[in-house]
């Protein structure tokens, strides 16, 4: 007993030390830690802190803090946790490093808040203490080495609130789990770690592997699942012109990295990235501009040291693009970029000088080896592009559906070709494109196929310029192409077969047909390009136009329907305003145009054959009463060997039906594509019923047409700009009908002209040769033809007896009969003249002859030179007229119904003032007048 109580013994002191150590450890340390934590946080951060309990195990050297809760000066929760546990390893610290067996935190909760000034609540609470603290001395000694057997956080929670911008942003991380095992900061021993983080709504982060500090290195795997755009877009939004209203991001992969002064190493293997449910819009509250079901890329293999990136398959599913132009012609896709571009231009302008200096400073930098990248394949499925244009009078709404795109292996080796395959649907029809493509230098080959591509899509845009309706029409195209970019320019060959089917164009005012066809086909088209130094060549095997039709109409107001199709307004120059330009600018434009003409060469064009089948062309003139209507139908034929070669001659063979029974045929040669025109065409029109032209005859001739047939034989010869034409007109059994009052009718006596020109068989032959210079700006083919016809009619009606005289051989002037003085007898010479007149009248049975007897006071004198009385002169004149009429009827055989005697006429001539010779006795001429029956 005395030994135990001997305080001088070592055992006593050991027991006493143990008791004091135990009491201090179990009771004093927890109290001190608790009080120090509460007081320090109060002094430093003005936090009110509550700690449920502190437990210190002096034997295990472990400390546990339970029920920690701290509130800031506004009594808002800042930090709390259920349990904090740290276990110091004395044995592990013997090696010269500070070792802990475990550092763990259970159910921590952190409330971080960023105020309107951008100051974090923790920064705000601790900033005063930091400002009052004495400056720390710089410590250049080696950092302490640490070892942690386990660092863990379990069931953690972080609540973050950001009020630094107009929109309050909140983010909650729960649960947060971290496990880091055997981690050391000494000799880069590192340690194993595991981090699991949840952002709610299925957003998960899993990160595990190994990590080292000096130098930094890490190796492991990372998996992020379903990260929502709402978790990060708040901080990206100020830098993006668009609003990402929805997106889910997932990624995973293995990595190995190390960064030191000697090495920058990053290796990613079997990685993958996917985005889904993407919705991009102008703003958070507007309709989506772009949506996407998913886009994924895997596998991803990246090696920073080797500068390689091997990417696997990129798959894009159901992308949808909504593009719209509004009433103010702003495009929704571009509208957010306008302000962005303005800001960018301003920043570039302000930073232009420093950028230039930086460029000079780095001009001698070492060029790194090219980055070797590749993508195994790119595939886009079930895409949609919708274009709406509300700026038009009739809004456009066009969609490309079921878009598919597949690209083969694409890599940094841009000279290597990769395959491509694309398709899309238009109104149920599939369009496709496939082939091979190399980027540098450009080399592309492939096939293009368009099937039943709807042409009515263009109607809203055509309707802006023209008063037409393109209600139907489809385009088919099958093409093969091989193109490459060389030093001399683009070269290669394109072959194709193209057809436009069931085209129907109507004018939009009355919805009447304007033009169209069943089929317009280009077969065997071949385009050859050989760079800028050689002219391109275009050859076409066959152009086939099946059942084309066109309709031209003149309205009741005299307006041509084709002229009413255009909506364009006259330019200021056309309205009479003068536009002036600087003389130097005109010279520059002239020089530029000359250079362009010198550099560009016209294409060589060759078309083997143009085939026209069953064409119909209608012409209606509603300005006339009655309405005039004519048409050409069954217009068919071909034109062969069309070429831009100056020596080539195209053969023309076309024919059709004109109205019900008429025929039209066009034959000859032409070269419409040559720079020097050379045309020889014969146009024959037969069996045209002229009664259908009564509306025009009534307006311009003043008569309806009772009957008649028309044949035309037209021969046109064009060499260069010189035109020479022979127009032969044959009219059979033509008769005018009743007369019509018309202010536009000619004053020429057309019935007389018709009667003079019509032969005994009721036929009229007219030959109208014309010529002119096509290069003359005043040249008008219609005007030239009208002038020739008018001259002919004028000659006929002003000199009818010269026309009639030409019908009888040896006849000169048969317009009058001469009588000797005081005589009514017809001598032999004048009788022969009457017989020739009768012969001519027999050939023109539609003409009547008016005979006016004439007596002359100066010639018809009684013996002795006395002047006869007026009554006797009138009787003499009348007897002369009767003598002529009797001779025409009895000797010439002209029916008396066609001969009319007029009132006699007594005149005074100048014969009395002259002295006639013995051989030339004075005579008096009785005159004739021709009238139609």
Provide the pLDDT for residue 143: 67
Asked if the model's pLDDT at residue 586 lies above 80, the reply is: no
Q: Where are the beta strands (DSSP E) in 832-890?
A: 847-852, 854-856, 861-862, 866-867
Mutual orientation of helices 121-132 and 29-45 as an angle, nearest 10°? 90
- Model pLDDT for residues 358-383, shown as the tens digit of each residue: 444 444 444 567 889 999 999 999 99
Lowest mean pLDDT among 88-102, 398-412, 740-754, 915-929: 915-929
Tokens representing 16 are 């006493």
Provide the pLDDT for residue 912: 45
What's the rounded mean pLDDT across residues 70-87?
A: 91
Closest CA to 52 of 41, 62, 32, 66: 66
Provide the pLDDT for residue 190: 63
Query: What span, in angstroms and rounded, lies between the C-alpha atoms of 256 and 923?
Result: 137
Of the pLDDT bands very low, low, confident and very high (cuts 50, 70, 90), residue 580 is very low
- Residue 366 is classified by DSSP as P
Three-state secondary-structure class, residue 9: coil
Distance of CA 344 to the CA centre of its chain: 30
Torsion 669-670-671-675 (CA) sign: positive
Closest CA to 861 of 850, 846, 847, 876: 876
What's the rounded mean pLDDT across residues 540-568?
A: 87
Provide the pLDDT for residue 633: 94
Q: Which has more pLDDT, 260 or 466?
A: 466
Backbone angles phi, psi at 540, to 5 degrees: -130, 125
Provide the pLDDT for residue 253: 92
Q: Which has more pLDDT, 824 or 261?
A: 824
Asked if the model's pLDDT at residue 918 lies above 60, the reply is: no
Asked if the model's pLDDT at residue 387 lies above 60, the reply is: yes
Q: Which has more pLDDT, 927 or 544?
A: 544
Provide the pLDDT for residue 807: 62
Of the pLDDT bands very low, low, confident and very high (cuts 50, 70, 90), residue 179 is confident
Cis ω on the peptide bond leading into residue 442 (within 30° of 0)? no
Helices (H), 303-442: 335-361
Q: What is the mean pLDDT of the chain?
A: 83
Contact 748, 797 (CB under 8 A): yes
Q: What percent of the chain has pLDDT over 70?
A: 84
Query: What span, in angstroms and rounded, lies between the C-alpha atoms of 317 and 384?
Result: 10
For residue 22, the tally of other CB atoms under 10 A from its CB is 12
HSE-up of residue 515 (Cα within 13 Å, Cβ side): 7
What's the rounded mean pLDDT across residues 696-712?
A: 87
Asked if the model's pLDDT at residue 351 lies above 70, the reply is: no
Closest CA to 41 of 124, 106, 123, 125: 125
Of the pLDDT bands very low, low, confident and very high (cuts 50, 70, 90), residue 881 is confident
Contact 69, 34 (CB under 8 A): no
Say which residues have a Cβ less than 8 Å from residue 91's Cβ, sequence separation at least 6.
Answer: 99
Say which residues have a Cβ less than 8 Å from residue 407's Cβ, sequence separation at least 6.
Answer: 375, 377, 378, 379, 418, 419, 420, 421
Contact 796, 756 (CB under 8 A): yes
> Is 564 buried (19+), middle (13-18) or exposed (0-12) by CB count in 10 A?
middle
Asked if the model's pLDDT at residue 345 lies above 80, the reply is: no
Provide the pLDDT for residue 862: 84
Provide the pLDDT for residue 660: 83
> CA torsion 690→692→698→699, rounded to 10°?
-110
Closest CA to 317 of 279, 280, 277, 376: 277
Q: Which has more pLDDT, 226 or 763?
A: 226
Asked if the model's pLDDT at residue 573 lies above 60, the reply is: no
Closest CA to 499 of 455, 460, 529: 455
Distance of CA 525 to the CA centre of its chain: 23
- Residue 603 is classified by DSSP as P
Cα end-to-end span (Å), the chain: 179
Query: What span, in angstroms and rounded, lies between the C-alpha atoms of 226 and 239?
Result: 23
Say which residues have a Cβ less than 8 Å from residue 789's Cβ, sequence separation at least 6.
Answer: 768
| Helix (H), strand (E) at residue 127 | helix 121-132
- Model pLDDT for residues 778-829, shown as the tens digit of each residue: 776 666 666 777 777 776 666 676 666 666 665 556 778 888 888 888 888 8
Instruction: Label residues 811-841 b or e (16+ Cβ within 10 Å = b).
Output: beebbbbbbbbbebebeeebbebbbbbbbbb
Of the pLDDT bands very low, low, confident and very high (cuts 50, 70, 90), residue 922 is low
- Helix, strand, coil % (nearest 5) of the chain? 20, 50, 30
> C-alpha angle with apex 704: 699 to 705, nearest 5 degrees?
125
Query: What span, in angstroms and rounded, lies between the C-alpha atoms of 468 and 393?
Result: 13
Of the pLDDT bands very low, low, confident and very high (cuts 50, 70, 90), residue 313 is very high
Cis ω on the peptide bond leading into residue 399 (within 30° of 0)? no
- Residue 457 is classified by DSSP as G
What's the length of the chain?
A: 933
Mutual orientation of helices 781-798 and 750-757 as an angle, nearest 10°? 80
Provide the pLDDT for residue 358: 44
Query: What span, in angstroms and rounded, lies between the C-alpha atoms of 921 and 616?
Result: 70
- Model pLDDT for residues 117-162, shown as the tens digit of each residue: 888 888 887 775 555 555 556 556 666 788 888 889 999 999 988 8
* Dihedral class, residue 427 (left if φ above 0, else alpha if ψ from -120 to 50, else beta): left
What's the rounded mean pLDDT across residues 692-718?
A: 87
Which residue(s) pair with 853 in the sheet?
none
Distance of CA 697 to the CA centre of its chain: 48
DSSP assignment of 272-289 equals: EEEEEEEEEESSTTSPEE
Instruction: Label residues 49-71 b or e (16+ Cβ within 10 Å = b).
Output: bebeebebeeeebbbbbeebbbb
What's the rounded mean pLDDT across residues 642-649?
A: 85
> Is 100 buried (19+), middle (13-18) or exposed (0-12) by CB count in 10 A?
buried
Closest CA to 468 of 364, 566, 343: 566
Distance of CA 181 to the CA centre of its chain: 65
Provide the pLDDT for residue 356: 46
Lowest mean pLDDT among 174-183, 263-272, 387-396, 657-666: 174-183
What's the rounded mean pLDDT across residues 257-271?
A: 86
Q: What is the pTM of this model?
A: 0.76
Asked if the model's pLDDT at residue 895 lies above 70, the reply is: yes
Contact 92, 147 (CB under 8 A): yes
What's the rounded mean pLDDT across residues 263-270?
A: 89
Provide the pLDDT for residue 360: 47
Contact 862, 917 (CB under 8 A): no
- Model pLDDT for residues 42-67, shown as the tens digit of each residue: 888 888 999 999 999 988 889 999 99
Tokens representing 351 are 């930073």
Asked if the model's pLDDT at residue 579 lies above 50, the reply is: no
Three-state secondary-structure class, residue 902: coil
The residue written with tokens 């993006």 in the block is: 240
What's the rounded mean pLDDT across residues 427-451?
A: 93
Asked if the model's pLDDT at residue 752 lies above 60, the reply is: yes
What's the rounded mean pLDDT across residues 217-246?
A: 88
């Amino acid at each position: 007993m005395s030994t135990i109580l001997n305080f001088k013994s070592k055992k006593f002191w050991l027991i006493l030390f143990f008791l004091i150590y135990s009491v201090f450890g179990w009771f004093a340390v927890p109290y001190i830690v608790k009080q120090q934590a509460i007081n320090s946080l109060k002094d430093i951060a003005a936090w009110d802190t509550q700690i449920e309990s502190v437990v210190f195990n002096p034997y295990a050297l472990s400390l546990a803090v339970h029920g920690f809760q701290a509130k800031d000066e506004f009594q808002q929760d800042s930090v709390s946790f259920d349990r904090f546990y740290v276990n110091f390893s004395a044995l592990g610290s013997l090696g010269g490093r500070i070792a802990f067996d475990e550092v763990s935190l259970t159910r921590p909760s952190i409330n971080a808040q960023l105020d309107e000034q951008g100051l974090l609540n923790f920064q705000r609470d601790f900033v005063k203490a930091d400002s009052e603290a004495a400056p720390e001395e710089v410590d250049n000694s080696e950092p302490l080495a640490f070892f942690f057997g386990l660092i863990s956080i379990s069931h953690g929670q972080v609540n973050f609130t950001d009020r630094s911008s107009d929109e309050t942003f909140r983010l909650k991380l729960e649960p947060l789990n971290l496990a880091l095992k055997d981690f050391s900061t000494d000799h880069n021993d590192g340690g194993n770690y595991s981090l699991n983080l949840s952002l709610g709504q299925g957003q998960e982060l899993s990160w595990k592997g190994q990590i080292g500090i000096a130098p930094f290195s890490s190796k492991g795997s990372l998996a992020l699942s379903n990260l929502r755009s709402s978790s990060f877009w708040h901080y990206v939004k100020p830098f993006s012109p668009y609003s990402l209203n929805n997106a889910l991001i997932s990624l995973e992969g293995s990595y190995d990295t190390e960064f030191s002064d000697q090495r920058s190493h990053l290796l990613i293997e079997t990685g993958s990235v996917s985005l889904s449910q993407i919705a991009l819009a102008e703003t958070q509250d507007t309709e989506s501009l772009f949506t996407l079901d998913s886009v994924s890329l895997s596998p991803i293999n990246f090696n920073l040291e080797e500068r390689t990136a091997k990417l696997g398959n990129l798959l894009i599913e159901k992308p949808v693009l909504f593009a719209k132009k509004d009433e103010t012609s702003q495009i929704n896709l571009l509208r957010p970029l306008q302000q962005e571009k303005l800001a960018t231009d301003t920043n570039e302008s302000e930073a232009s000088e420093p950028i230039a200096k930086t460029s000079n400073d780095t001009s001698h930098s070492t060029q790194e080896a090219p980055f070797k990248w590749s993508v195994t394949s790119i595939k886009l499925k079930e895409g949609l592009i919708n274009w709406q244009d509300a700026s038009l009078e009739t809004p456009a709404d066009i969609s490309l559906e079921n878009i598919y795109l597949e690209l083969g292996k694409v890599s940094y080796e841009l000279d290597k070709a990769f395959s491509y395959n694309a398709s899309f649907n238009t109104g149920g029809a599939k369009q496709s494109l496939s082939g091979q493509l190399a980027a540098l230098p450009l080399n592309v080959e492939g096939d293009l196929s368009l099937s039943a591509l709807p042409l009515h899509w263009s109607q809203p845009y055509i309707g802006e310029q023209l008063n037409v309706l393109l209600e139907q029409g489809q385009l088919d195209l099958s093409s093969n192409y091989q193109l490459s970019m060389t030093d001399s320019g683009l070269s290669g060959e394109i072959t194709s077969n193209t057809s436009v089917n069931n085209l129907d164009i109507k004018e939009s005012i009355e919805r009447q047909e304007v033009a169209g066809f069943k089929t317009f086909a280009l077969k065997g088209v071949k385009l050859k390009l050989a760079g800028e130094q050689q002219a391109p060549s275009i050859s076409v095997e066959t152009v086939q136009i099946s059942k084309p039709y066109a309709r031209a109409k003149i309205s009741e107001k005299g307006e041509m329907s084709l002229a009413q199709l255009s909506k364009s307004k006259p330019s200021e120059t056309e309205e009479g305003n003068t536009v002036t330009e600087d003389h130097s600018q005109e010279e520059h434009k002239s020089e530029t145009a000359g250079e362009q003409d010198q550099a560009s060469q016209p294409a060589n064009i060759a078309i083997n054959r143009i085939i026209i089948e069953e064409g119909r062309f209608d012409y209606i003139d509603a300005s006339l009463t009655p309405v005039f209507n004519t048409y050409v139908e069954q217009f068919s034929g071909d034109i062969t060997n069309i070429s831009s070669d100056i020596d080539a001659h195209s053969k023309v063979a076309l024919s059709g039906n004109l109205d019900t029974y008429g025929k039209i045929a066009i034959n000859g040669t032409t070269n419409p594509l040559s720079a020097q025109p050379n045309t020889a065409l014969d146009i024959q029109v037969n069996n045209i019923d002229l009664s259908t032209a009564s509306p025009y005859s009534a307006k311009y001739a003043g008569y309806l047409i009772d009957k008649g047939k028309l044949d035309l034989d037209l021969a046109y010869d064009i060499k260069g700009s010189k035109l020479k034409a022979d127009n032969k007109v044959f009219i059979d059994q033509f008769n005018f009908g009743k007369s019509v009052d018309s202010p536009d009718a000619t004053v020429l006596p057309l019935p007389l002209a018709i009667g003079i020109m019509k032969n005994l068989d009721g036929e009229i032959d007219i030959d109208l040769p014309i010529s002119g210079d096509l290069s003359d700006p005043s040249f008008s083919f219609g005007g030239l033809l009208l002038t020739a016809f008018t001259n002919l009619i004028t000659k006929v009606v002003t000199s009818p007896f010269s026309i009639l005289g030409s019908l009888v051989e040896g006849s000169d002037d048969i317009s009058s009969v001469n009588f000797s003085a005081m005589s009514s007898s017809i001598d032999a010479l004048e009788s022969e003249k009457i017989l020739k007149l009768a012969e001519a009248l027999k050939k023109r049975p539609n003409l009547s002859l008016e005979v006016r007897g004439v007596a002359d006071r100066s010639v018809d004198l009684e013996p002795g030179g006395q002047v006869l009385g007026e009554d006797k002169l009138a009787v003499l004149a009348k007897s002369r007229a009767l003598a002529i009429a009797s001779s025409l009827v009895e000797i010439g055989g002209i029916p008396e119904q066609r001969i009319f005697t007029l009132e006699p006429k007594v005149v005074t001539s100048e014969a009395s003032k002259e002295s006639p010779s013995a051989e030339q006795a004075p005579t008096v001429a009785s005159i004739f007048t021709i009238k139609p029956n």
